[in-house]
Structure 1
Amino acid sequence: MDHTRQVAVVTGAAGAIGTALTATLTDAGYDVVGLDLPSACPPDRLASGTMVGCDITDDAEVRAVFERIVADHGRIDLLVNNAGISAIGAFDDHDVETHRQVLAVNHLGSVSCTQAALPALRESRGHVVVISSVAGFAPVVGRPAYVAAKHAVTGMFESLRPELARDGVGVTLVHPTFLTTHLGTAEGGTERTTTGSAVTADDVARAVLEGVQKRRPRVLVGRTAHVAWHVRRLAPGLYERLMTRRMTATEGADRG
């Protein structure tokens, strides 16, 4: 195996964004290793070694998998923390276990993978990407557990950026607006479509590559993400009224 080629690790690699990231990064010259639950991994990709079955909520398993990746490839230059799940409903609809599950995948899974990859990333002076969301910097009605988890992972990696900069490791937070694809939920279903202009998985993948190449601290993907970023800061009351009105209208249309 050519250990001079840059190596990227992508979590949640079997999903729509993970698949787009794999293709985009491969085209950019990376050897990509995808991680996902064993049941989600295509057998041919498991056999080829381009995907590895891994439960990112199991820290011991994560550390073993990353040790294997470094042993096989000799390096890690890029980690994309993409894996995530949502939970749809009001606060009263979900118990603590649902909140714990969403936090475990979206936040703690990213913590575990980053800690496991960090020695190799420091050696390569590499880069960490977190696929966050508009929900990572602004409230979104009807998704309290998801908003909490995305705020947690966003805040932690914002704090981690200057710490890792001393070692030459970059951190990019990517905040897409609502996607045309569906995100898995803690209940086992998929997130329903939501109002606002949507972006595709390919849009997100291209934004990730550009963010890494230009070492950007933050990337907003989609017009709604840009509007939400500015309105939330300049007029938080207006943002909350607009968001609540749009989300309520969408929920009514879904029930209809």
Structure 2
Amino acid sequence: MRVVLITGAASGLGWQLARACHARGDALLLTDIDASGLAARANELGSERVMALAGDITEPELHARLLDGCRQRFGRLDVLINNAGITHRSPTLRTDPAVFRKVMAVDYHAPLELTLAALPLLRESRGQVVAIGSMAGWMPVLGRAGYCAAKSALGQAFEVLRAEIARDGIDLLMVYPSFLDTPIDRNALGGDGKPAGHARSTIGRIRSADWMASLILDALQQRRERLFPDRGSWLASLLWRLAPALYHRKMSQRFAGEIS
């Protein structure tokens, strides 16, 4: 039986990952900033193989509680899934710097710091790390400067980290999804830090969270290093590299509402 720690587990992709892992027989340590939502999800799964600890993933104190709780309850950690995330929809020039700092704290600093703190447990199990990046880390998306920056930083840091922890027998899977039907976009911040006031613009097909969760668990089983699940967004990222002027024209047309 594997022990899996999932952040942002009360909804969206994190919840679908929790359901799928539980169905496969894994023990779960779940965390989310939404305490009531997390408690409801844990009750839905049952308490036999599930432990839930709510808190702010950007706080080192929560990291310590999670890892101490994991060792005391389960005695091991096999898989860490860094799923918790936040985004914004706002023109760069009209975004409060505090929004950029918050997005960077949740999407970059928190997963990196939690992973580093979890390494002693992961070394013991020769475990696996998952980081949920984004195709927005590979190509610019208008109205998402902070999110693009955070996901780019996450991808670069974890690509470096993979080589360093491989010597300890720890595998690292970077996931680069595109647009998913999850609360991260429904709860996006506006430039003032309040909920965004306009609908999101998208590229390609909007995929379901359960579809994404299934692909991630399959990639873990295969011990893959990277997962690019959406062919359309992957091709768009190539367009950005091969013909950036054309990409910008297309992006400006498609995302006009993000910068108006």
The TM-score normalised by the length of structure 1 is 0.89
Match of residue 185, structure 1, among 180, 183, 188: 188
Find out whether 1:199 has 2:207 as its counterpart: yes
SS of residue paired to 1:162: helix
- Structure 2: gaps spanning 5 or more residues: none
Find out whether 1:215 has 2:212 as its counterpart: no
Which segment drifts farther, 50-59 or 69-78? Answer: 50-59
Find out whether 1:33 has 2:29 as its counterpart: yes
Tell me how far apart the structure 1 counterparts of residues 70 and 122 of structure 2 sit (CA, whole Å).
Answer: 12
**Structure 1 vs Structure 2: percent identity of aligned residues?**
36
Deviation at 1:203, TM superposition (A): 1.7
Deviation per residue, 1:127-171 (Å, 9 max, x gap): 111111111111111111111111111110011111111111111
Deviation at 1:13, TM superposition (A): 0.3
Tell me how far apart the structure 1 counterparts of residues 222 and 157 of structure 2 sit (CA, whole Å).
Answer: 22
Deviation at 1:52, TM superposition (A): 1.4
Tell me how far apart the structure 1 counterparts of residues 244 and 23 of structure 2 sit (CA, whole Å).
Answer: 40
Using a 3 Å threshold, how does the CA distance of structure 1 residues 17 and 44 change in structure 2: closer, same or farther? closer
Deviation per residue, 1:39-81 (Å, 9 max, x gap): 5423462793432112111112211221111211011111110
What is the identity, as a one-letter code, of the residue corresponding to 2:18? T
Tell me how far apart the structure 2 counterparts of residues 27 and 176 of structure 1 sit (CA, whole Å).
Answer: 23
The answer to whether the Cα contact below 8 Å between 1:182 and 1:192 also exists between their aligned partners in 2 is no
Aligned residue in 2 for 1:65: 66
Tell me how far apart the structure 1 counterparts of residues 64 and 122 of structure 2 sit (CA, whole Å).
Answer: 14
Find out whether 1:234 has 2:242 as its counterpart: yes
Deviation at 1:111, TM superposition (A): 1.4
Tell me how far apart the structure 2 counterparts of residues 203 and 234 of structure 1 sit (CA, whole Å).
Answer: 30
Q: Which has the higher contact order (CA 8 A, sep 6+)?
A: 2
Find out whether 1:244 has 2:257 as its counterpart: no
Deviation at 1:217, TM superposition (A): 1.5
Deviation at 1:206, TM superposition (A): 1.2
What is the identity, as a one-letter code, of the residue corresponding to 2:54? G
The answer to whether the Cα contact below 8 Å between 1:203 and 1:221 also exists between their aligned partners in 2 is no
Deviation at 1:83, TM superposition (A): 0.4
What is the identity, as a one-letter code, of the residue corresponding to 1:208? I
Aligned residue in 1 for 2:127: 126
The TM-score normalised by the length of structure 2 is 0.87
Which segment drifts farther, 141-150 or 188-197? Answer: 188-197
The answer to whether the Cα contact below 8 Å between 1:55 and 1:62 also exists between their aligned partners in 2 is no
The answer to whether the Cα contact below 8 Å between 1:176 and 1:199 also exists between their aligned partners in 2 is no
SS of residue paired to 1:129: strand
Which segment drifts farther, 40-49 or 77-86? Answer: 40-49
Tell me how far apart the structure 1 counterparts of residues 163 and 224 of structure 2 sit (CA, whole Å).
Answer: 13
The answer to whether the Cα contact below 8 Å between 1:134 and 1:228 also exists between their aligned partners in 2 is no
Tell me how far apart the structure 1 counterparts of residues 110 and 194 of structure 2 sit (CA, whole Å).
Answer: 18
Tell me how far apart the structure 2 counterparts of residues 212 and 192 of structure 1 sit (CA, whole Å).
Answer: 33
Tell me how far apart the structure 2 counterparts of residues 175 and 237 of structure 1 sit (CA, whole Å).
Answer: 23
Match of residue 14, structure 2, among 13, 18, 24: 18
* Paired positions, count: 248
The answer to whether the Cα contact below 8 Å between 1:198 and 1:222 also exists between their aligned partners in 2 is no
